[in-house]
Amino acid sequence: IENSVAYGNGYNRWGFPNFQGDGNGFKLGGGDEDLPAAHTVRNSIAFGNSTGGFIDNANPGAMRLDHNTAYRNSGTGFDVADSRSTLTKNLAVGNGTAVSLGSSTATGNSWNIGGTWNDSALVSTDPAIITGPRTATGDIPHSEFLVPRNGADVGARI
């Protein structure tokens, strides 16, 4: 998965009766906890989801998450406690919990490099460019949404 955005999951905006959306942004399961899948997620953003941002969903596989951003998800930004994942240069800001690693490894991420990671540490927190109209080619227009103000090489650039 590359250059993707998952936002607003888990909210019943349509008024469906018996709505059961679980509210995760990127669910990276293998379909069954006995079938490991080695997903790779790069340069993607999960924000405003009612549960988590990036979750292994009981997938025991060896995944790679590189340069992703989890922002204001109610649960955990990066939940890879059931997998053997490698997380590098990811950004977690304003989530219920930044990360749940289990036996996964993490280097160069916002929670590894320290500092204060809140809304004021970001150039823009306005999702209008992400949720608004696409370019003529169908792409999300480039913006500084959730880009670190200090220039740190963490998180997605969309």
Q: Order of strands, edge to edge, in the sheet holding 69-71?
A: 5-7, 45-47, 69-71, 91-93
Q: Which helix (H) or strand (E) holds 97?
A: strand 97-100
Backbone angles phi, psi at 119, to 5 degrees: -55, -40
Q: Tell me which residues are annotated as active site.
A: 27
How far apart are the C-alpha atoms of 70 and 67, rounded to whole Å?
A: 10
The tokens of 157 are what? 């650039």
